Amino acid sequence: MHPAPPTKFQLRCQSCQNLAPDPRASACAQCGGLLLAEYAAPNLTPTNATQRGMWRYHTLLPVSDVANAVTLGEGNTPLVRSQRLAAHLGLNALYFKLEGSNPTGSYKDRIAAVGMTRMKELGVTGWAATSSGNAGAALAAYGARAGIAGMLFTLETAPRAKLTQILAHGPRVVAVQGLGRDPAIERGTFAAVRQLCERKGWLMQITAHRFSPIGMEGAKTIAYEIAEGLGHAPSAVYVPTGGGGLLSAIARGFADWAACGQIVQQPRMVCVQSLGCDPIAQAWQGGHEVRPIATCNARISGIQLTAPPDGDLALGLVRATQGWAASVPDAETYTAQKMLAHFEGIFVEPAAAIGLAAVIRDLAAKKLHPDDEIVCICTGSGFKDSAAAQALSEGVEIPVVALEALSREP
């Protein structure tokens, strides 16, 4: 193991406020609390004009030297303004942040890029994680890029298209019975991954602040890009939520931008979960802390967690920004997926469409004003879930006609 290089950041426990002396720490050694990165002399002005994508913000990323970046060109994803849906729904400004444009097709590339870069700096030789697909694909690709081996624990129900992408890069993949449906199995799997990494000298790369405080900093750059693209903060940001890590990272990113004087106020953060697998939404609606649910009855891949590791962190940030949480039935998510494809030409996996489904619900409930400026985080490409993609055209026949009949086509 190489000695840790000097850094511009430190990890601080959010419970006891102690600093973590070990740069590889994934939890506080004193109390087991959650660690978050904090920076000395933050500066959001790009310091190197040659840096592109999310690495424009390297002064607020937990790496020692941006020259070491393990990158495939992640970040700088399109922020697309609605051309038709906004008017159809009665909104003046509706935007979609297309994270499926990242190299492996999801926002998880931002996390994997930072995580693998830091592992390379520290001389760590392996990683282990859990994932239903998108995180696994990102970690496998960036691990291959960095020359760092890995092992992934996945769900029995993970879409085969996602697993095919993962397996192409070479990590070992194991499906765990009950993962994603049983809170005891989720917690046990997380513990097993931690023990494996401790035994082998690897780093956990589970995409949650609770386990991977370094890598999760990469997802903050989504907020930087939104604020930079609009020139201000939107009214509300709708975030598909499983474990709570993405929402937490985006909220913290807007807080960074506000602290540096780039925006006047932060947007309201809206936590969107699938009805039947919505422990964070239940906590917000019930006015209590996050409690594991007995089982997951939702089918939307990528956000199926009964015991979200960053649930309390996400819930606290929803409350702090005067946001809210929504529970969306699967059928409405699939409808929103079709609407994005038909109205806007945006092809996303179902989890990436759940934010739009929540916007539609909130408009009907008068939670939104027509003048609100809304951003939906579209987390992954439609190619990630082949079964769901095929369902979009189910029942649509493609007629076969003779060449001479083409002139008679209406």
For the chain, the domains span: 79-104+215-391
Return all residues near 278 (Cβ < 8 A) that are at least 6 apart.
293, 298, 325, 327
Q: How far is CA 236 from the centre of its chain?
A: 17
- List Cα–Cα distances, 372 to 236, 247, 257, 346, in angstroms: 8, 20, 20, 22
Distance between CA atoms of residues 218 and 66, nearest Å: 13
Closest CA relative to residue 185, chosen from 95, 305, 9: 305
Each residue's pLDDT, cut to its tens digit, for the chain (410 residues) gives 444 444 589 999 999 999 999 989 999 999 999 999 998 765 556 445 578 899 999 989 999 999 999 999 999 999 999 999 999 999 999 999 999 999 999 999 999 999 999 999 999 999 999 998 899 999 999 999 999 999 999 998 888 878 899 999 999 999 999 998 899 999 999 999 999 999 999 999 999 999 999 999 999 999 999 999 999 999 999 999 999 999 999 999 999 999 888 899 999 999 999 999 999 999 999 999 999 999 999 999 999 999 999 999 999 999 999 999 999 999 999 999 999 999 999 999 999 999 999 999 999 999 999 999 999 999 999 998 888 888 888 888 998 999 988 888 77
Where does 79-104+215-391 sit in CATH, by number?
3.40.50.1100
Contacts for 213 with CB less than 8 Å, ≥ 6 apart: 11, 25, 26, 34, 35, 36, 37
pTM: 0.94
pLDDT of residue 387: 82
Residue 158: the pLDDT is: 82
* pLDDT score for 3: 42
